[in-house]
Chain A
Amino acid sequence: MSWRDGVALVLVLTIMLLVGLNARHLFEPFTAVHQPPISLSPSALPGYALRTTLRMFAALAASLFFTLTYATLAAKSRRAGTVLIPLLDVLQSVPILGYLSFTVVFFVSLFPGKMLGPELAAVFAIFTSQAWNMTFSFYQSLRTVPTDLEEVSRSLRLTGWQRFWRLEVPFAMPGLVWNTMVSMSGGWFFVVASESIAVGALQIKLPGIGSYVATAIEDRNFGAIGWAILTMAIVILIYDQLFFRPLVAWADKYRVGTTAAQIVPRSWLLDLFKKARVVDELWSPIASALDRIGRARMVFAHRPTAVRGPRTPTRVVDVLWYLAVAALAAYLIWRLQEFAAGHIGWQDVRTVAAAGALTLLRVIVLIAIATVIWVPIGVAVGLRPKLAARVQPIAQLLASFPANLLFPIAVVAIVHFHLAPAIWLSPLMILGTQWYILFNVIAGSAAFPADLREAAASFRIHGWRWWRYVALPGIFPYYVTGAVTASGGAWNASIVAEVARWGSTTLDAGGLGSYIARMTTAGDFPRIALGIATMSFIVVCLNRLIWRPLYGYAERRTRLD
């Protein structure tokens, strides 16, 4: 962990705790919001589904805007980059559902008495679940634009604006589209969770599928839950066909590789659009307008200048900049200890640490179990191209299905059979994210070089030796990618999975997620902040001490040159 990450971690966690400690003063008093009641009739579901979907796309638009600006700033300005990037890295590890309570209260106080407040809070929660990895991907792309293309754009004297749309955005497109898809898949989980929230006395239910399910849980209406699951399945299916696939198929032309791909992503909708004359006529004015904007030089008095080869960084400004950042961090820490003294005691820290350890144990055990189950299945599927082509989209669909809609079924079972919640609520944490392990392993074994497989077969490498020396090293980098996503998702999910309700029955599995959820219900902001800070800290440490080294190891060992 470099000192930059350390500073970023301190900054984020301190700000979070400070906001928590001051929240009650900032946001009081709450104004009651007039909310339409949620109907449990199945006929209301299509309307709710539409509202939920709209929130999702509003957040996506915000994420895209954030990505294009934040990542560009971080990539173009070295000084901004040294602060923005570690900051982003820490933000990525902050549990989204944890700070929902802050943002709801904040937005409600911003627009008192209006539904716009909670709506914005929900969109913001989804935004935070989507934006970070999209931004990272875009930033990485901006930093790795091939030198020759960068030079040719300068030699052609493209302006900054032209270069952005002609070179940088297209180059970043495959990574950006892929990360947008992963973000969207994850987003369904958060849109459902963020629609219905109670912070102390403030009870909010936004019209949508999430609120529908929450109401059904309160009413112990099992049939309604069934309808909600069915509706969500249809929504996901439509989203897959009308959005996901066309986008992936369209983005294929931005691949930089100079050889044709083995599998060209296809979409019937995109094919239809390309052939249909009507669509063409409707689209072409828009396309030519966009084209003109991208082409425009957007510059009036600027001349491109040569890059100074050996540029000596301006030390003085650097030192001032770092001093400013350090001073801010120091000031925040000082304020924090001043505030915390009155609110949070060592007893709280001990409680939170113990809860964190319990959730950590759960995550580790669950990832291990998911690995043992899905790795062999994934390898078996991936090695059969036809089967993989069928299973892969299903795994992706399952990953985007919001698992929290299925929680009530498990809860009813636990209540009915009198099972121990501390054990049986745990699997819910990984219910939605285990699929990332499966589809990454499938992708890895499908991409496994055919000549290596044939070599293994011809030297008759079987059984354990085959797994140890052929299959597992081959899929390892892919597995790590999947496992990182799954574990990050599990931490996020713990906040809704470790505490579950069915009508008036409440099951509590203990752990850090449950701690944050309980404090949210109680409206105890300092302790919510403490919980989130602790969880972020654990996740950052996990990423730095386990996942990143593993990833580096996988990269190094599976490369030929």
Chain B
Amino acid sequence: MTEAKTPATSHIIDLEHVSMSYAKPNGEPLVVLDDISCSLRSGEILGLLGRSGSGKSTLLRIAAGLLAPTKGNAFYRGAPLRGPAEGIAVVFQTFALFPWLTVLENVMTSLDALGVPRERARVRALSAIGEIGLTGFEGAYPRELSGGMRQRVGFARALVIDPAALLMDEPFSALDVLTAESLRTDFIDVWLGQQCPIDSVLLVTHNIEEAVLLCDRVIVISSKPGRISAEIPIDLKYPRNRFDGNFREIVENIYSILTARTALSLKEMRALGGGVMQPLPNVSPYAIERVIEKLAGPPIDGRVKLSTIAHPLLPHVDNILTVAEVLPILEFAELSDGQLQLTPAGRIFATSDPEERKRLFKEHLLNFVPLAGHIVNVLQERKGHRAPRIRFKAELEDSLSADDAETTLRTIINWGRYAELFSYDDRTRTFILGASPDLVAS
């Protein structure tokens, strides 16, 4: 545990058997969070780690009292949480500053809600601004500040109320790599400082290294529906070193956990045979080409640990995981134990010319992505080989959330266009069998 904090076991926030579901258009519930129980303890930084869409931000909002769960309960200091509580502060991914208020006014807003007299509020706000290193910028409007400085205001606004629980929703993910790193360091300094008023922190992130860098404990949340798939204590001393052996070991362990889930869910999907409803992440065919080329190239030679390619290839963990999920769907690679390995087809794809690649992609699309086959079947049955977009959208929304259905549809349109399997006319919002009519006409 942290050295600076006295080890305490009192719970600040408890979530008990929390579930969250939304109604789908057909009336059935779409489960986002499924029976989650966990506690935020005094003196710790707890990380919630998961892919985007895993419901971890929803979980944070439940803990903040911004959302009420459909099942289960949230408690703050032992009492049921019935709305945003006085000792809970939230830092948002998008900063969420009021553009028409200055830095000082933004920070003071927190205190207005508590009814703190104006002059006292001013003094406290100025001190919080100073603590986070923004002295001199009190009169600036958010639009005059860089992203990193804006998030510092976000922190000052949360710190000024001396929160017992600081809930942070991907606070560093909208910043560039260097800014995020410096803000993380400063945050840890404030946290370890003697007069730090914060009692506990909940950090939601999809960045594995960030979680290992900052947290005392990490809870890994699986996707669709969100469930706790692992809980990992991190007993490393601050400041932590990314290149330290123990650090790397924890990171790799988490990668294996996350990818094992992905591989498993793909198998389950196939086994069920009803893969038409499989959500497809938004990855362009050209990104797939590029990653396969990289994987086949000299330093990697077709087999790689995900934790080692994350950095040089694609900065965001989420992206590499997304691609790592797509390649197995298309059977261009296999995923096991945090390792990605190209299939023979993947190797052939890497060395093929563009014509051949398209042919191969089309073949794999028809064989391994049931939705593509389904669309082609429908188009063949229809008069004029056309079908409206809404038809497939409605079908997908029966088992996916509206957002997932939209993303899946966009992805399949892109893939279908690339493979020249079917095309899509946005003016009339219809799918058309075969290559784009524009191409045929010429």
Q: Measuring CB to CB, which residues of chain A are less than 8 angstroms from any residue of chain B?
A: 146, 148-149, 151-152, 154-159, 162, 166-167, 170, 173, 253-260, 292, 295, 297, 303-310, 312
Contacts and interface: CB of A to CB of B under 8 A. Distances in A.
B65 interface: yes
B89 interface: yes
Contact of A155 (B23, B81, B84, B94): B84
B84 A154 contact: yes
Nearest to A303: B83
Interface in B34-88: 61, 64-70, 81-84, 86, 88
B100 interface: yes
B90 interface: yes
Given A303-B82, A309-B68, 17 more contacts: A148-B96, A149-B98, A151-B61, A151-B92, A152-B90, A155-B66, A155-B84, A166-B101, A256-B99, A259-B143, A297-B112, A305-B83, A306-B65, A306-B83, A307-B67, A309-B69, A309-B70
B115 interface: yes
B238 interface: no
A304 B84 contact: yes
B113 interface: yes
A72 to B, nearest CB: 19
A257 B143 CA distance: 8
A156 B99 contact: no
B66 A154 contact: yes
B114 interface: yes
B66 A307 contact: yes
A289 to B, nearest CB: 12
Contact of B90 (A149, A151, A159, A303): A151
Contact of A157 (B82, B86, B141, B142): B86
A95 B177 CA distance: 59
B307 interface: no
Interface in B1-51: 20-23, 29
Interface SS, B side: loop
Q: Which 4 A-B pairs have the closest CB atoms?
A: A148-B96, A152-B96, A306-B68, A305-B83
Contacts of A295: 112, 118
B109 interface: yes
A297 B113 contact: yes
A259 B144 CA distance: 8
Contacts of A260: 143
A170 B100 contact: yes
Contacts of A151: 61, 66, 90, 92, 96
A155 B83 CA distance: 8
A257 B89 CA distance: 25
Contacts of B20: 309
A297 B116 CA distance: 11
Contacts of B93: 148
Number of chain B interface residues as a range? 35 or more
Contact of B64 (A155, A257, A258, A312): A155
Contacts of A156: 84, 109-110, 113, 157
A309 to B, nearest CB: 5
B143 A148 contact: no
A201 B21 CA distance: 68
Q: Which of A149, A170, A305, A309 has the most CB of B within 10 A?
A: A309
A208 B99 CA distance: 43
Nearest to B161: A156
Contact of A254 (B64, B68, B89, B100): B100
Contacts of A158: 109, 112-113
B352 to A, nearest CB: 32
Contact of B99 (A258, A308, A310): A258
Given A304-B84, A306-B81, A159 B113 contact: yes
Contacts of A292: 118
B100 A253 contact: yes
Contacts of B110: 156
13 contacts: A148-B93, A148-B94, A152-B92, A154-B84, A155-B89, A158-B113, A173-B100, A258-B142, A305-B82, A306-B65, A307-B67, A308-B68, A309-B69
A151 B154 CA distance: 13
Contacts of A152: 90, 92, 96
Contacts of B67: 306-307, 309
A253 B84 CA distance: 30
Nearest to A261: B143
Contacts of B84: 154-157, 304, 306
Contacts of B101: 166
B92 A253 contact: no
A305 B83 CA distance: 4
A295 B120 CA distance: 14
Contacts of B112: 158, 162, 166, 295, 297
Contacts of A154: 66, 83-84
B98 A170 contact: yes
A78 to B, nearest CB: 16
A225 B226 CA distance: 76
Nearest to A150: B96
A173 B100 CA distance: 10
Q: Most chain-B Cβ atoms within 10 A of its Cβ — which of A260, A292, A304?
A: A304
Contacts of B157: 156
A254 B141 CA distance: 10
Nearest to A253: B100
A61 B118 CA distance: 30
A242 B280 CA distance: 58
A155 B82 contact: no
Contacts of B81: 306
Interface in B90-142: 90, 92-96, 98-101, 109-110, 112-115, 118, 141-142
Nearest to A292: B118
B106 to A, nearest CB: 10
Contacts of A173: 100
B42 to A, nearest CB: 21
Q: Which of A148, A297, A303, A305 has the most CB of B within 10 A?
A: A148
Interface string B354-393: 0000000000000000000000000000000000000000
A148 B89 CA distance: 14
Contacts of B86: 157
Name the residue among A155, A295, A307, A312 with the largest chain B CB count within 10 angstroms. A155
A254 B66 contact: no
B96 A306 contact: no
A297 B109 CA distance: 12
B406 to A, nearest CB: 13
Contact of B70 (A155, A167, A303, A310): A310
B82 A306 contact: yes
A166 to B, nearest CB: 6
- Which of A152, A156, A260, A306 is packed against the most chain B CB atoms within 10 Å? A152
A303 B113 CA distance: 11
Given A155-B90, A158-B109, A149 B96 contact: yes
Contacts of B113: 156-159, 162, 297
B105 to A, nearest CB: 9
A305 B68 CA distance: 9
Most interface-central of B81, B94, B98, B110 (chain A CB within 10 A): B98
Interface centre among A151, A156, A259 (most CB of B within 10 A): A156
B22 A167 contact: no
B141 A253 contact: yes
A255 B114 contact: no
Contacts of A308: 68
Nearest to B121: A295
Contact of B22 (A159, A253, A306, A310): A310
B23 A310 contact: yes
Nearest to A258: B143
A309 B71 CA distance: 11
A167 B98 contact: yes
Interface centre among B68, B95, B141 (most CB of A within 10 A): B68
A361 to B, nearest CB: 31
A254 B82 contact: no
Contacts of A305: 82-83
Contacts of B92: 148, 151-152
